[in-house]
Amino acid sequence: MNTEEVIRLLPKVLLHDHLDGGLRPQTVIELADESNYKNLPTNNPDELAKWFHQGANKGNLVEFLKGFEHTCGVMQSKSSLERVAYEMMEDMKNDGVCFVETRFAPVFHTLDGLYLEDTVVAVLTGLEKRKKDFGVGYGLILCGMRNMKNALEIAELAVNFRKKGVVGFDLAGEEGGFPPKKHVDAFHFIQRENFNITIHAGEAFGKESIWQAIQWCGAHRIGHATHLLEDIILDEDGSVVEFGDLAQFILDKRIPLEICLLSNLHTGAVDKLENHPFGILFREKFRVTINTDDRLMSDTSMTKEILTAVKYFNLRFNDIEKITINAMKSSFIHHNERLDYIYRVIKPGFQKVREELSSQKRKPGKNEEETFPELQF
């Protein structure tokens, strides 16, 4: 096995994945045909995949988000939402993901007359069907949008479906000009209901966005947080000299950070992967998790994201296991369920692969470097 094959076999946990950012190109084309959607740039699946990736890879979040006009455009019926959710779970299974928290903004799927509740029911139906088929666990997160005024309504919707598979509330969209504190009523509602909050923050705006998300809005997790590096003083060698108050608070309180390496490169949150703060944050024991964000737009998967982390930040086998367990600990499902995944799925899964790799190394003519040159124990 090479390194990529090893990583694909490992049980993985994904906490930050957008449902409308992960469609299969062929599905986009078929749903467009079914719904008479005429705006796709091409009906060739390979060309369409390339179009989404090139459009997203412009180093600008606003440009990155333009592709969602088409994915959301073909997700305007119960059947389309159910299909996309169902296929997403199948893709997770094929990528070795044992648990995923996917998210979407219901408001973007009501153009053809669906009620907000209809969109949630349809997505949950697709997720549950695939869970029964393949055993991939899931939670659904509902997104309010920064530039809209109905975040409280979406927060209430999330709480209403908490017993049916919705596990949290998120705030997404363009950060500049739309600080999270503008929606503080939605977050106060979620807090009063003892529910879960994650917020996109520090992706396209500074550390102030992260501070607001935590201290004004009570975020339990932070999506991206690339600008947290602004609150860390480094010396010429890149070693930490001092943490600012915000970074120290996040470290001390073990607030999980939903890191999306390739997406951050594509949106311009970082100029190149080797400059991504992930390496520093992981080295300094922040609770970092590895995620896909938008699989279609970034042409990625959990295997590819972890492989990227191995390549650029020298993660070892045991590091991947630690990050995976931390991700499971940081999920929004109940405590006993998290423990079940850790001790029934994740730890045994890593041990099985570890034993297989050890047996390969013992074979005549084989050694660790030949078997998995980048992924050391």
Q: Quickly count: other Cβ atoms within 10 Å of residue 57's Cβ.
A: 19
| Range list of β-strands (E), 217-271 | 221-224, 232-234, 240-243, 257-259
Structure tokens at 307: 């492989």
| Helices 116-134, 78-94: crossing angle, 10 deg rounding | 30
Q: What are phi and psi of 113, to 5 degrees?
A: 105, -5
C-alpha gyration radius of the chain: 20
* Residue of 101, 168, 163 lying closest to 137 (CA atoms): 101
Q: β-pairing, 166-172 with 197-201?
A: parallel
Q: Of 118, 155, 162, 156, whose CA–CA distance to 140 is shortest? A: 162
**C-beta separation of 99 from 138 below 8 A:** yes
**Amino acid, single-letter form, for residue 275:** N
Structural contact between residues 144 and 105, judged by C-beta atoms closer than 8 angstroms: yes
CA distance 161 to 121: 9
3-state percent breakdown (helix, strand, coil) of the chain, nearest 5: 55, 15, 30
Of 101, 117, 86, 109, the C-alpha closest to 18 is: 101
Asked about 370 being catalytic, the answer comes back as: no
Catalytic residue among 82, 101, 175, 203: 203
As annotated, the active-site residues are 203
